[in-house]
């Protein structure tokens, strides 16, 4: 793994090989986001393509489909092994579900067996928590850990797009909450699902693992991917 400090913030990923799990979902957008940092993007579909990576991104999509395909392509067990051994991983939306240790409402197959995850993050997630596709929404979030992007006016909020996004219902003692969607004023709600009385956790970090409920790759928000790169380099 490369841990040389990044001299040029615009090329913070230079010299790194960042894999994107390319079984299903918006992996192409994540490849472009990784390459925009100066990293080499690697589409991962086979176990041997995990070798030599500095980090891995698990994209948004259908968590159940990615789970099934990972097992069909003999990727699930190697992924669990790499994650357990400390490979830095960023999971976005479905990727957050697949990194979770527990799912509050797992899908089941025809035999009644619940979907599986790769694990690593001591969290419980709820799938499609903000509603279905037609209830997708956008909002601005205060996001911890982005001090590297501060200007004279401070750190700008992250503009987040939620598309059938999960939220986190439980975090373990070693998990840091990075961002939450606050309860909405009924007269000024930016999202379809009422959130009475409680903020909803939508971004977390634990060690070398990062996860968000939302899709920074679809809005041109580069700082979440840059945070992940800086985590790999030991700069965040």
Residues annotated as part of the active site: 93, 215, 217
Measured between alpha carbons, how far is 54 from 19 in angstroms, rounded to an integer? 8
> Quick one: tokens of 52?
């030599």
Return d(Cα 118, Cα 99) in angstroms, integer.
Answer: 6
Q: What is the largest CA-CA distance in the chain?
A: 57
- C-beta separation of 93 from 60 below 8 A: yes
For the chain, the residue count is 236
| φ and ψ of 115, to 5 deg | -60, 155
8 Å CB contact between 137 and 191: yes
The angle, 0 to 180 degrees and rounded to 10, between the axes of the packed helices 27-36 and 223-233 is 70
Give the count of alpha carbons within 13 A of 145, CB side only: 24
Return phi, psi of residue 61, to 5°.
Answer: 155, -145
């Amino acid at each position: 793994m490369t841990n040389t400090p990044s001299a040029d913030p615009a090329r913070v990923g230079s010299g790194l090989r960042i894999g994107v799990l390319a079984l299903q979902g918006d992996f192409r957008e994540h490849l472009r986001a990784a390459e925009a940092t100066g990293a080499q993007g690697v589409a991962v579909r086979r176990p041997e393509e995990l070798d030599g990576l500095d980090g891995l991104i698990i994209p948004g999509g259908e968590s159940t489909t990615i789970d099934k395909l990972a097992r069909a392509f003999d990727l699930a067990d190697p992924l669990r092994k790499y994650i357990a051994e400390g490979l830095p991983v960023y999971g976005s939306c479905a990727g957050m579900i697949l990194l979770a240790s527990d799912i509050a409402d797992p899908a089941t197959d025809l035999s009644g067996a619940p979907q599986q995850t790769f694990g690593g993050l001591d969290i419980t997630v709820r799938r499609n928590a903000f509603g279905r596709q037609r209830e997708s929404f956008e909002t601005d979030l205060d996001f911890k850990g982005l001090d590297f992007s501060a200007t004279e006016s401070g750190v700008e909020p992250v503009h987040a797009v939620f598309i059938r996004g999960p939220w986190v219902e439980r975090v373990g003692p070693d998990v840091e909450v990075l961002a939450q969607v606050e309860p909405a004023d009924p007269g000024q709600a930016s999202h379809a699902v009422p959130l009475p009385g409680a903020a909803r956790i939508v971004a977390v970090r634990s060690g070398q693992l990062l996860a968000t409920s939302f899709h920074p790759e679809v809005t041109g928000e580069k700082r979440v991917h840059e945070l992940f790169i800086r985590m790999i380099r030991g700069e965040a």
